[in-house]
Structure 1
């Protein structure tokens, strides 16, 4: 198992997060998935956490994240949702007429725990065919 560290914490905190567009609309299409990944990557770089895997379907997004416990998973997910909503609605103006906000207020998060990362990655990959 690999551990990360900052100035005073050594950690291995991996999370599976899922969130959906408002009304479960199928809006992550036509290049939005690629742009979503880019913006999420920028947020991860700014806040110093790692996005291990992203699978964006038209009506929801799965993410496998490794987050510093001092930052917290809540702050990481909320910042990704906030920035992607703002930027995508600016770049894809049709979203403003389609839904009042890009994401719902809620999200699902679960610790990966002792599950091997290849198994979790395989699960995320299989979500495309569900």
Structure 2
């Protein structure tokens, strides 16, 4: 993922999340028209929030999404925005999902930060700040 710093009043940021979530009981129901509509809904929700989708892969029993969001949006908020909308709409439009599953998505999800700088790089940067700080000439 390449670094693309975005700005808002008072912040410069580059936040990316890798999200994975599954249908309840990991049932393989995300194929054909359901898959197509799910991808459409995910892109719609991202656009509504001005989030950028970097990668999206829907397979029959889970969803992988890499998305760039704003600092005001927590990872749990981002995941719940995608899961909430898609569950409601897909279950309305595809009645067979209601009969096979008590809810579309399992309650859990996986999230990891995804960026261009490793934790080790950040740690090294912080630990060496005093070595790079300009030396004051006065005494």
Q: Which TM bucket (shorter chain)?
A: 0.7 to 0.9
Q: What does the per-residue CA deviation read over 1:81-118, in whole Å, with 9 as the maximum and x for residues that have no partner?
A: 000000000110100000000001110001113369xx
**Contact kept? 1:47, 1:76, Cα under 8 Å:** no
**Contact kept? 2:14, 2:115, Cα under 8 Å:** no
SS of alignment partner, residue 98 of structure 2: helix
Larger radius of gyration: 2
- TM-score normalised by the chain length of structure 1: 0.84
Matched length: 116
CA RMSD of aligned residues (A): 1.5
Comparing 36-45 and 77-86, the one that deviates more = 36-45
> Unaligned stretches of 5+ in structure 2?
119-139
- Which runs of 4 or more aligned residues in structure 1 lie more than 6 Å from their structure 2 counterparts after TM superposition? none
Whether 2:36 is the aligned partner of 1:34: answer: yes
